Amino acid sequence: MSRIDDYLAEHASRFEDELCEFLRIPSVSADPQHKADVAEAARWVADHLSRLGFAVEVIPTKGHPLVYAESPAVPGAPTALVYGHYDVQPADPLEKWITPPFEPTRREGNIYARGATDDKGQMLTHVKSAEAWIAAEGRLPINLKYIIEGEEEIGSPNLPKWLEANRELVAADVVVISDTAQFGPDLPSICTGLRGIAAFEIEIQTASSDLHSGSFGGAVPNAIEVLTRLLTALHTPDGRVDVPGFYDDVAEPSDEEKASWKALPFCEQEFLATAGAKATWGESDRSILERLWSRPTLEFVGISGGYQGQGHKGIVPARALAKCSARLVPNQDPAKVIEAVRRRVQALCPPYAELHWRAGHGTPAVSIPTDSKWVKAAVQALEAGFGRAPVFIREGGSISIVTRFVRDLAMPCLLLGFGLPDDRIHSPNEKFRLEDFVRGMRTSAHLLAKLAEDRAPARAREGLRRLLARGFPCEPRAGPAVVAQQEPRSIRMMRARIYRHSQRRVGVTG
């Protein structure tokens, strides 16, 4: 591994420059005005993988394209699939940024830009580790696949159907994802659980239209007052969700896991400083980490109603809307939770108000066992990359696609976060510590070596042999991601296979 580590160290400055180039692309998937930028980011990823000799396809969907790539085959070796995303969140509010969000700036050992940590910087560590292996050793030690999508920040609406239609193509022994964080600075972490989510909207209507507050105020119900009173009733004063059945299926963490959380260097004051809050809130009989990682919540994420413009308008609002989401833990069913909340809201709604209920998307929580051979390989890789043993943590957020890999495709996942809790993802002045960028690349390179030690027969390799035995044509697809016809026959065959299977994709335009 010394040659690979040396290569990463010698080229670290260039890798930083390439990351800056990537970050300059404003690939905001939620904004239609950035559609061309999102497509440019997809091409950027495809180009960098093509240069390494991967067979690459930029696959269109109803929304933004996804990039799929495969390395030349390494017979008998395991197959790892790297998942990441090249799209980013909107940069608003722009006035809160110290430097422009799409003009990457290096200062105080960090790189500041939208997408620095989420997820361009973290995803790129796994591309550059592959480059280091190929440059230093001439080949990869395992079979390597990439799925890099452009719609993660808008809920991945098209990827699940594509995955379902291309099960054999994407089959792998393990999925590697870096879209989480370390527990703290210089504390490498393996995430073993993600909370799920269930989203819904509550709208209250008390009249056919807004009314003059002088003529009707105090004599007819106010939609905002009704809604806020209803929302307040959904929690007890000590922070528990006051919805019958809400906690029925909650799986408690083991005593061993709780003890490991207590041993983590958690500081409540630092937590509050990161949040910019003055006090904690929630279930007082639970630690903060328990509240974040193993307890479900009910959050009000947006509220509207009445007059929102400048100045004052004397009205009694006829409508008020609350956007809500519940964070879920293992064993909870999103549909069941949404229905429980709906029943409670319906019971609380007064007869003179109309309730309009809209259920949104839902994703179950995910748990990852810590005793698998893949996790053991990740522990050793993080020790090599960071110089110390990692800790096991959970994340309070959700990555919906992880549920697809684990539950629908039966592919184990490794969640290796290289960012930090204060990297301000989704917020102004997002950053990525450059030292962790280098450590991430080194960890990824060592992970490939550790995964290669497993030579047992695997589902992914059996699937590959079955596919190639079907005699797929070897002519590559014409397009910008295709390299010269002189490329090795093995890559041409893989490219043809990628194209053949991509025709099964669901919901593709034109």
Q: What is the extent of the structural domain holding 469?
A: 2-193+366-502
Average pLDDT over residues 395-404: 90
Determine the average pLDDT of the residues in 471-492: 42
Pair (174, 204) in one structural domain: no
Region 256-271: mean pLDDT is 95
H or E element at residue 357: strand 354-363
Query: In this predicted structure, what is the pLDDT of residue 493?
Result: 63
Whole-number pLDDT of residue 508: 40
pLDDT band at 489 (very low <50, low <70, confident <90, very high): low
Cis preceding-peptide flag for 101 (omega within 30 of 0): no
In a domain, 258, yes or no: no
Q: How confident is the model at residue 484 (pLDDT cuts 50, 70, 90)?
A: very low
The answer to whether residue 107 is domain-embedded is yes
Task: Between 140 and 503, name the one with better pLDDT.
Answer: 140
- For position 33, which CATH number holds? 3.40.630.10
Choose between 491 and 250: higher pLDDT.
Answer: 250
User: Which of 363, 383, 398 is a domain's end point?
Assistant: 363
Give me the mean pLDDT over the 461-481 stretch. Answer: 43
Q: Mean per-residue pLDDT for 397-404?
A: 89
Residues 302 and 401 in one domain: no
CA angle 37, 119, 251 (to 5 degrees): 135
Task: Tell me what the mean pLDDT of segment 329-348 comes to.
Answer: 97
Residue 215, both tokens: 């003529």
CA distance 365 to 96: 33
The yes-or-no verdict on residue 476 having pLDDT over 80 is no
Q: How confident is the model at residue 506 (pLDDT cuts 50, 70, 90)?
A: very low
pLDDT tens, position by position, 309-325: 999 999 999 999 999 99
Residues 54 and 160 in one domain: yes
pLDDT-based confidence at residue 138 (cuts at 50, 70, 90) = very high
What is the C-alpha radius of gyration for the chain, rounded to an integer number of angstroms?
Answer: 25
Q: So what's the pLDDT on residue 495?
A: 59
* pLDDT single digits (tens) 164-201: 999 999 999 999 999 999 999 999 999 999 999 999 99
Greatest CA separation for the chain:
82
Does the pLDDT at position 283 exceed 90? Answer: yes
Last residue in a domain, options 313, 338, 363: 363
Give the total number of structural domains in the chain: 2
Q: Looking at the structure, do residues 210 and 157 belong to the same domain, yes or no?
A: no
Residues 379-404, mean pLDDT to the nearest whole number: 95
Q: What is the CATH number of the domain that holds 359?
A: 3.30.70.360
Tokens coding 20: 């800056």
Q: What DSSP assignment string belongs to 459-497?
A: HHHHHHHHHHHT----PPPPSTT---TTS-HHHHHHHHH
Q: Please determine, for residue 132, whether its predicted confidence score (pLDDT) is greater than 50.
A: yes
List, in sequence order, the alpha helices (H) in 387-488: 400-403, 434-452, 459-469
- Residue 255 in any domain: the answer is no
Q: Would you place residue 497 in the very low, low, confident or very high pLDDT band (cuts 50, 70, 90)?
A: low
Instruction: Write the pLDDT tens digit of every residue in 4-44.
Output: 999 999 999 999 999 999 999 999 999 999 999 999 999 99
Task: Determine the 3-state secondary structure of 62 from DSSP.
Answer: coil
Query: How does pLDDT run across 201-211, given as a tens digit for each residue?
Result: 999 999 999 99
> Are 96 and 6 contained in the same domain?
yes
Mean pLDDT, residues 225-241 taken together: 97
Q: Which of 216, 369, 389, 198 is nearest to 299 (CA)?
A: 198
- Residue 361 — pLDDT band, cuts 50, 70, 90? confident
Residue 509 lies in a domain: no
Of 363, 390, 407, which closes a domain? 363
Estimate to the nearest angstrom the gap between the alpha carbon of 90 and the chain centroid. 15
Whether 280 is in a domain gets the answer no
Q: How confident is the model at residue 481 (pLDDT cuts 50, 70, 90)?
A: very low
**What Cα–Cα distance (Å) separates residue 315 from each residue in 108, 156, 205, 215?**
51, 40, 14, 9
Assigned domain for 51 exists: yes
Assess whether pLDDT exceeds 70 at residue 95: yes
pLDDT at 459: 55
H/E stretch holding 234 reads none
Q: What is the pLDDT of residues 416-436, one digit of tens each?
A: 999 999 999 999 999 999 999
Of 97-111, 363-377, 435-449, 453-467, the one with minimum mean pLDDT is: 453-467
- Name the average pLDDT for the chain: 91
Judge whether residue 467 has pLDDT over 80.
no
Q: Does residue 285 lie in a domain region?
A: no
